[in-house]
Amino acid sequence: MIGAIGVGVVTSNPDPAEAYPDVNIRNNTKYKAVGKVTYAGCSNDNYSVDSGKLWTANSRGLFGWCLVTGVTAEVDGKIDAESYGSSGTGYAAFKIQPNSDGYIVKR
């Protein structure tokens, strides 16, 4: 449903089916990982995920329309993983895994 309030201001009740899925991060390391998911123009999420487990965000901002611009991870309390960066993606599934230089966050 779309309705007008005043002159030139339109409000909308969005369809939940149009929202992006909640972000999830799989920890494929032997250690606990902590980090941050950043969204374009929305509040960020801090997360903590144990080894072999999956973390899922509670939402994706207002109406679920926030694009992911970055995912960081610190593994074992001391090792910064290579972060994921984007100008903005609707992608939701990320993973932290070992690589030749330590660890990396990937889609």
DSSP string, 3-28: EEETTTEEEE---GGGSPPPPEEEE-
**2 domain-assigned:** no
pLDDT of amino acid 13: 58
pLDDT of amino acid 63: 76
Query: CATH code at 80?
Result: 2.60.40
pLDDT of amino acid 19: 87
4-17 as b/e: b if 16+ CB within 10 A: eeeeeeeeeeeeee
Evaluate whether 14 touches 54 at the Cβ level (below 8 Å).
no
**4 domain-assigned:** no
The residues near 15 (Cβ < 8 Å, ≥ 6 apart) are none
pLDDT of amino acid 78: 94
Containing structural domain, residue 94? 16-106
**95 domain-assigned:** yes
Q: The whole model's pTM is what?
A: 0.83
Split into its structural domains, the chain has a count of: 1
